[in-house]
Amino acid sequence: MINFIVWIIVGAVIGWVASIIMRTNNRQGLIADIIVGIVGAFVAGLFLSPLFNISTINEGNFSLPALLVSLGGAIILLAISKLFRNVSGFLLVVVILLLVYVYFNCWTMSATSAFCISVRALPFLQ
């Protein structure tokens, strides 16, 4: 029970610091800070933990490196949410996700769909 309360408090502090860094502090309250801190730690667990080989606060690690990795994930989460606030940012994210999808699904030579064959036939990819 104590670990859960510490997790909520640390998530709130991480979300609050990330919102100050990303200048979204005046738009969100305590509940949003908690959500940003905890979900940001989850995002850090997906993207930053394998990169730095450090666990996050979601795994019960409350060390300084884990707090910094969780803060990085919260900052990434707020940056993505800032991109989705306008149409051009949304379109940019959609294009990037489409390129990532095409890269991972069509770049191997074993992909035989017509779409993948036409993507690999583009002149600037030769």
Tokens of 69: 């990795």
Provide the CA 19 distance to its chain's centre, in angstroms: 15
Q: What is the pLDDT along the chain (126 residues), one digit of tens a residue?
A: 677 888 888 889 999 999 899 888 777 788 888 888 888 888 888 788 888 888 887 777 788 888 888 899 889 888 888 877 777 777 777 788 788 777 777 776 666 777 777 777 777 666
**Consecutive H or E run containing 97:** helix 87-106
Domain spans, the chain:
1-85, 87-126
Tokens of 103: 């890269």
Q: Give this prediction's pTM.
A: 0.66
Other beta carbons within 10 angstroms of residue 71's beta carbon come to: 23
- Round to whole Å and give the CA distance between 44 and 89: 22
